[in-house]
Copies of this chain bind each other. A is one copy, B any other.
Amino acid sequence: MTENTPKAARASKKLELAEAVSRYLPDEVESLAIGGMHMHNNPMALIREAVRQKKRIKRLITSPAACINADLLIGAGLVEEIVTSYVGFEHLGLAPAFRRFAQEGKLKVYEIDELTLILGLKAASNGQPFAALSPVLAFSDVSKFSPEFYRPITNPFNGQPAFACPPIKPQIAFIAVQQGDEFGNGILKGAPFIDREMLFAAETVLLQVEQLAPSEQITRNPLQVTVPGMKVSAVVEARFGCHPTSCHRVYHYDEEHLKLYLQMAATNEGFEEYLQKYIIGYSEEEYLKRTQSRTL
């Protein structure tokens, strides 16, 4: 293929973290989807930067199981409403900011089941008018309390009741991958969770890459490159960018730090202290130094 060299160079999508967030996120984000599940593969560098830049989010859309990714944005007072199936810290406990804001009526929660969330995203990326849902959902209170996502319809084939969920089409999605190139091609080395569903449904995708590598290297086995560059608007390199959550096959979650967060975020004051101690005014490099130092 030596004679087969393009005449013009391709544009790189690589940006600095702050630049990517400030360029692609309006100050009032209509809807933001955040990838990862539980304490794994959360795009935390992007999320911390959104906190630093105080981007307000009208609607936060999570994967079927959100964790500190959602909790941090909520605690920072940036989120008006959330579409989710679950926000928690799995075996470590409940999500403190989510809990506090919801209990104080300061966060509108659209609680929907995991399948509806996935099918809503798929309806967006497949250009479907809505996702048809099983009538069994009538027996759960989610269909009563989040009626926007469970519109009663009739199954035309048997006359039985069913539900319709509108397409869930995030304005922006934050996704973290282990490896990627400057054109936005990404490799999910571990679990894909529903990151692909999110990025195909979203209008604009910001890709956080643990390790940026030359494109020839990333695309050597294209079958494992399941995040296609064409869906990605900006690529940000962020080593340990999923911290304190895990980055599958690269590092484990930092249970100690997650527990510290849970403790501090239990009150408004503690949460504010957490932000001041680790995030606001600090670069990602400084964040990592500070969180790894046990003597601060």
Contacts and interface: CB of A to CB of B under 8 A. Distances in A.
B134 A127 contact: yes
A43 interface: no
A153 B151 contact: no
A157 B164 contact: yes
Interface in A143-175: 151-153, 155-158, 160, 162, 164, 166
A115 B119 CA distance: 15
A119 B128 contact: yes
A16 B190 CA distance: 36
A133 interface: yes
A227 to B, nearest CB: 15
B129 A130 contact: no
Interface string A92-136: 000000000000000000000001000100110011111111110
A134 B130 contact: no
Interface size band for A? 20 to 34
A283 to B, nearest CB: 33
A17 to B, nearest CB: 29
A120 B133 CA distance: 13
A219 to B, nearest CB: 16
Contacts of A162: 129-130
Contacts of A153: 153, 156
A119 B128 CA distance: 10
Contacts of A127: 134
A147 to B, nearest CB: 11
B132 A132 contact: yes
A130 B151 contact: no
Interface in A46-90: none
A129 B157 contact: yes
A132 B129 contact: yes
Interface string A180-217: 00000000001000000000000000000000000000
Interface of A: 115, 119, 122-123, 126-135, 151-153, 155-158, 160, 162, 164, 166, 190, 223
The 10 closest A-B pairs by CB, nearest first: A129-B162, A129-B155, A151-B156, A132-B132, A130-B132, A156-B164, A128-B132, A153-B156, A129-B132, A127-B134
